[in-house]
Structure 1
Amino acid sequence: MTVPHRRGFETQREEVTSVELPVEGELPAWLTGTYVGNGPGQFEVGDRTLGHWFDPLAMVRGLDIGDGVTYTNRFVRSHDFVFARERGRVRTQFPGTAPDRPVWTRLRQALTGEFPDNPVIGVARIDGELAAITESPVALTLDPDTLETTGRTDLTTDLDADLTLGHPHYDPWRECLVNLGVSYGRATTYTLFRRDGPATAPTATVAFDDAPYVHSFALTERYAVLPAMPFGLDPRKLLLGAITRRTFVESFERFDRPGEFVVVDRETGAVATRNRVDPLFVYHHVNAFRDGDDLVVDLVGYRNQRAVTDLTLANLRGESPSVPRGDLQRYRLPLDGGRATGETLRAGHMEFPVVDYPRVLGRQYDHVYVAEADGESALPTRLARVTVPDGEAVTWREPGTFPGEPIFVRAPDGADAEGVVLSVVLDGENDGSSLIVLDAATMTERARAPLPHRLPYGFHGQFYAADDPVRSMA
């Protein structure tokens, strides 16, 4: 018997274009635009099953919402995808899967920093074009209507960086993208930069003796906050892995030092403070804002590096997968450099925090949307609107289903609602998926549109309103 949650970790090879979906319920008349998501599509290459949740070949999925809902999905035609489909082999070092290449090729890739271009994390508008992104030096551009891959964009232009993060911010104050570039060498360097059209301008550089892994960062009008925690890569082991076939995940470890938040002053380019903190691992930040003499940073925090190393497909496909618990946490960072203090706002297995972005970015706010487990599963089984800082929640849940990232869409002024939350929900028992539309205040269902096939669990997406091209989340 198939365990329902496993369906989210199974390949979907079918691609469709502009399929009109049946709609149950009533879509708000003001809801017009396109939701574009990204995530795994194919979990095998040749006769190999890929090793880690971050390895599968990327599939973008688009839902155009207006009078109805039209659905399109496409694999991203990266170099990694083409190599896998044509040769049945893994081209580059995926996070949990070694490449199927001769040892001299693997050594060349390690020494020259040839990273995967399989863009499986999310999407963004870069230089006016829709693009699929990951932790890579390139983005793959997409046709906004068909989602076909149209080209490649160099994300490291004018930067001393090997790659960039898969979670760029949109800066509403300066109307540009802000991201971090990473350079590996004797020291690991993170470069904060802004991208305004094709022009890239570094604004600050932070160096580390070790190689901390940073997946995302927090942003305010004045500051950027890097979670420089003692979890990351041993570059020597990774380089040796070119011979031994040791992977990124197998080279991921805990360092013998405290954790710290590095606060960068965006106006001067200087490090404003380094606030020590008990070690924690961070994938996603919620928000950050100034509160008196402190900088407040909200995030989903984990205890250690198991947040990365436990996400193997062998584990996740098990009957009772061991998924590390992420809590909604708040940290206060004294701007005089004192030690950071933290508290848990809401405990439990939760992820994919989304706020009213970028409206509340860098400002005090009162709620966040998350996907969380309800105790019967370590994987998300409900969506929650969580008030902060008290941690109380209003939730949506449907037995037997597994919701994905909640995307908030604000209603225009004068509408009959605050907004809606969009999510693609997996029905593992019936091998199907649906787009659901929830009232953002009450978390009650307003409409749903069943898809023509099941989609694997996705990672991140954006909603682009028809009259507003600004992204809906970090």
Structure 2
Amino acid sequence: MALLDIPISVNRSSRHLTAPGKNGIAYVCNAGVQSLSSSTDFVKHKSRSMRIAATMVSPSIDRGRVVKYPKHPAWESVKQERWEGKLQIEGQIPDWLNGTYIRNGPGVYDIGGEDSKNFFDGYATLVRLHFEDGGLTACHAQLQSEAYKAAIKNNRVCCREFSTIPKTSNILSTIRNIAGLLTGDLITDNAIISVARLGDGRVICLTETMKGTIQINPNTLETIGPFKYTDKLGALNQSGHPIVSDTEFITLLPDFVNPGYHVIRMLPGTNQRNLIGKVNCRSDTSVGWVHSFALTDNYIIVPEMPMKYSPKNILSGDLLEWHQDSMAYMHVISKETGDMVASVEVPQFMAFHFINAYEEKDEGSGKPISIIVDSCEYYGSAEIWEIMRLQHLRSFVGNDILPNSRIGRFNIPLNGSLRGTLETAIPPKEHGRGIDMCTINPKYRGKMYRYAYGCGTKRPCHYANCLTKIDLKEKSSKFWYDEGSIPSEPFFVGHPGENAEDDGVVISIVTSKDGNGFVVILDGSTFTEIARAKLPYGLPYGLHGCWIPSVQA
């Protein structure tokens, strides 16, 4: 296997060696570095070479045992393109819960008898849950992207997905692929990551390519078509997680020519993005990957981590690589002026998702003195990317192979200091040493908050397998767990006129190992199950969703 075929390649300028290991996975070797007892031990060592080695290899993973496990529907293609029906409910759904939850995520992995390489290569499957007067109807449908339609028509992958690329049989087909990528024709529009309701009521699905912004009908899940921006900002990529409210849509556009990020805003009722400001990368000449970011009432926080875009891999392998020798930074700009407020060096980190951020203020003047940013952080290790390969998700045999993660809390001073800190917000044992896919009460976005709801772990496991309520004040947690099941993102919906931050319910779509699936509704305060509704079959694991109140659904 060629080096460019591995999921995460290593910066070749480093002194470390990358070699294919078992199952075609790359492992990092560093002569003279001893094994560490756990994937978190690297934080105890000051040696840079020791830290780098531990970042890429976790001795806790048993690489010698990979046995095909009976197929779990969470990692298999959806059974049919569309289904709709009323669900039978066990328990009681609150009468006040009226509206629609829409979830996005990969759902079709197998095209032409060939599996996708990575979880993020699956074609988007939308799920709609409509709550009304204590009842629940469900629907799922395939997003009709051009990439999906071409794959179905030709019975093969036709666009450049995250890791899976169109096959070539000769030099001419290779040239056609190159030309298609240069013109943008072969760049995917498979919008699998998130779904957002804009302030004007329109609903769009997004991925990290600019083409992958597609408008849908929230009542039927029918695909309306590409969401076309009317500005001239251009760009090939975007953050997969815009931050959307009733008043604005904010996202980041990576700049590959002058490495950095354009921070942009779009107002309701328009398709025109406007530039707020520009953040330049500081670590090296490559643009840091930015899946998500954070904001407060007054500031936008732009992360820069050692996971970098790698255009050289566009024809083979993933488009990301981990730069071991790169530094990490957190940049802060003003939401109002776009001016840089702070740019601080922080310890190396790896995070898909930022949970929330807020400003700490001086008690006397009331002026912000620092910014707190919480994330689902993997101890500066890129190993989670190895687990995201479908062959690993489908090969669990009971080993504890999920890399450790934590709620990583950044403290960014606003006093001109050049360094920030990264600490663990609560003891990792509170969430099983694994946490991701966190949501909060949206009324507390950008403000001081107490609770987060995420996918935690009950080990041994190879992926997050339980739901967790995190209490950041008491540094404690509550769990919901169903043996053998994989729950998706827990989505919080607040009670109308809520009095407390956790006054509401949490919704999650769960897939069981026996092939079944169900919707679970938990009390946001006690975190106990109050209702569940069985689906006709288990659905593939999804990613992120949005809530549409009934008056707008």
Query: TM-score with structure 1 length normalisation?
Result: 0.91
Q: Which runs of 5+ in 1 are unaligned?
A: 470-474
Residues 102-127 of structure 1, C-alpha deviations (whole Å, 9 max, x = no match): 21122123333453100111111246
Look up the match of 2:260.
Answer: 189
**C-alpha distance in structure 2 between counterparts of 1:321 and 1:75, whole Å:** 33
- Determine helix, strand or coil for the equivalent of 1:54: helix
Higher strand share: 1
Q: How far 1:17 moved relative to its partner?
A: 4.4
Select 1:268's aligned residue among 337, 351, 356: 337
AA aligned to 1:433 is: G
Look up the match of 1:315.
Answer: 392
- Determine helix, strand or coil for the equivalent of 1:82: helix
Look up the match of 1:104.
Answer: 175
Question: Is residue 387–residue 462 contact of structure 2 (8 Å, CA) maintained in 1?
Answer: no
AA aligned to 1:59 is: T
- Determine helix, strand or coil for the equivalent of 2:308: strand
**C-alpha distance in structure 2 between counterparts of 1:376 and 1:96, whole Å:** 28
AA aligned to 1:145 is: N
**C-alpha distance in structure 1 between counterparts of 2:99 and 2:245, whole Å:** 21
Look up the match of 2:297.
Answer: 221
When residues 4 and 277 of structure 1 are mapped into structure 2, their CA distance, relative to the original with a 3 A threshold, is: farther
AA aligned to 2:393 is: L
Look up the match of 2:504.
Answer: 419
Q: How far 1:224 moved relative to its partner?
A: 0.8
Q: How far 1:299 moved relative to its partner?
A: 0.6
* Percent identical: 28
- Determine helix, strand or coil for the equivalent of 2:221: coil
Look up the match of 1:306.
Answer: 383
Look up the match of 2:216.
Answer: 142
AA aligned to 1:110 is: L
**C-alpha distance in structure 1 between counterparts of 2:132 and 2:421, whole Å:** 46
Select 1:76's aligned residue among 124, 143, 147: 143
When residues 255 and 398 of structure 1 are mapped into structure 2, their CA distance, relative to the original with a 3 A threshold, is: closer
Look up the match of 1:472.
Answer: none
Look up the match of 2:435.
Answer: 350
Q: How far 1:282 moved relative to its partner?
A: 1.3
AA aligned to 2:347 is: D
**C-alpha distance in structure 2 between counterparts of 1:274 and 1:207, whole Å:** 10
Q: Which runs of 5+ in 2 are unaligned?
A: 1-66, 362-368
**C-alpha distance in structure 2 between counterparts of 1:135 and 1:43, whole Å:** 18
- Determine helix, strand or coil for the equivalent of 2:182: helix
When residues 468 and 388 of structure 1 are mapped into structure 2, their CA distance, relative to the original with a 3 A threshold, is: farther
Question: Is residue 278–residue 338 contact of structure 2 (8 Å, CA) maintained in 1?
Answer: yes
Larger Rg belongs to = 2
Question: Is residue 227–residue 282 contact of structure 1 (8 Å, CA) maintained in 2?
Answer: no
Residues 379-403 of structure 1, C-alpha deviations (whole Å, 9 max, x = no match): 2222111111443011111222221
**C-alpha distance in structure 2 between counterparts of 1:229 and 1:77, whole Å:** 33
Greater alpha carbon shift after TM alignment, 92-101 vs 145-154? 92-101
**C-alpha distance in structure 2 between counterparts of 1:294 and 1:41, whole Å:** 41
Q: How far 1:323 moved relative to its partner?
A: 3.0
Residues 83-142 of structure 1, C-alpha deviations (whole Å, 9 max, x = no match): 110101212221111223521122123333453100111111246322221112131211
Across the aligned residues of Structure 1 and Structure 2, the Cα RMSD in angstroms comes to: 2.1
Look up the match of 2:202.
Answer: 129
Select 2:99's aligned residue among 5, 30, 33: 33
Question: Is residue 402–residue 461 contact of structure 2 (8 Å, CA) maintained in 1?
Answer: no
When residues 4 and 261 of structure 1 are mapped into structure 2, their CA distance, relative to the original with a 3 A threshold, is: farther
**C-alpha distance in structure 1 between counterparts of 2:84 and 2:395, whole Å:** 35
- Determine helix, strand or coil for the equivalent of 1:363: coil
Number of residue pairs the alignment of both structures matches: 457
Question: Is residue 315–residue 321 contact of structure 1 (8 Å, CA) maintained in 2?
Answer: no
Greater alpha carbon shift after TM alignment, 218-227 vs 131-140? 131-140
Q: How far 1:227 moved relative to its partner?
A: 1.1
Look up the match of 1:403.
Answer: 487
Question: Is residue 201–residue 552 contact of structure 2 (8 Å, CA) maintained in 1?
Answer: no
Question: Is residue 104–residue 194 contact of structure 2 (8 Å, CA) maintained in 1?
Answer: yes
